[in-house]
Structure 1
């Protein structure tokens, strides 16, 4: 009987010695000489400007002139008080803050660039009509070295070339004799 009892005791001990599974504690990582790079902060939309003042002024000037520019970011701010914006038809708008002027640049049918200052919708309409109906030939004036002016310069060059030609001994003697006849004796300066 003793045996059975001891067996029971051992069995009882085994059941009581079992414990619930332990949760693992996280070990602290070993120290390192290399510091981890912290993640970059994301830009806050509240601190980043949505548009510059110049872009706003240019958009307003275009609206006053009767031109709708729906995307404000299409205005390129040059950071010198001017901004430029291309339009869908290939023309350009330029706004200058110091003079508060909006200028429109377009090509006429003859191929020249025309620039108009726009202050209101009437100016915009007149500029479009003027640019579309341009039939003037746009060319630069001819250079001034043509015609009689060019022939006068050639004659001067021929004369200058003749003056620099070598002289003969007879020409040198005749020149010295002519000068000797005109020269007057000069006295020495007094001390």
Structure 2
């Protein structure tokens, strides 16, 4: 578990970078700080998680998880590195000043979402298209981006024999990446968080579900 109180600072960013013998660029530090300035709805928790060290000279990662009110207040201060609930996401920032041509920029965001679905939603053949549309619409409202690509996969699992859990379960997985045109990534994180909320089946903000 990683404490979400650990706000990124220039020192935090430098630790990630100096492990590779590099000096942290100020634009990378600014981008990291902007990721943690995102305003998220109350059901989402955000925290710093371990980032990959070999994909780019500089990297930073955040984890988002959906809290449906089943956890104690103390537990809301931490976000797991991997799945611990029925919906979670990871957003990784890669910064490579030498990747301008390959990425069409130096800031690349890599996103991953995994969420359990109920059978009624999962059986909709348009679900992957709708989920991808949520992402594109959210990014269209964010600060500039280019080179968006990814996949959305809907799967079904059936349990047999002596194994716990529901007999059938359904899951949606989204993988995507895009290049940010600036260093303010606040709106990118907010767009990503909105997709996670939609995929998790949260009601629109300000609307309470019947079961809530």
Output the TM-score relative to the length of structure 2: 0.18
Looking at both structures, which has the greater relative contact order when contacts are Cα pairs under 8 Å and sequence separation is at least 6?
Answer: 2
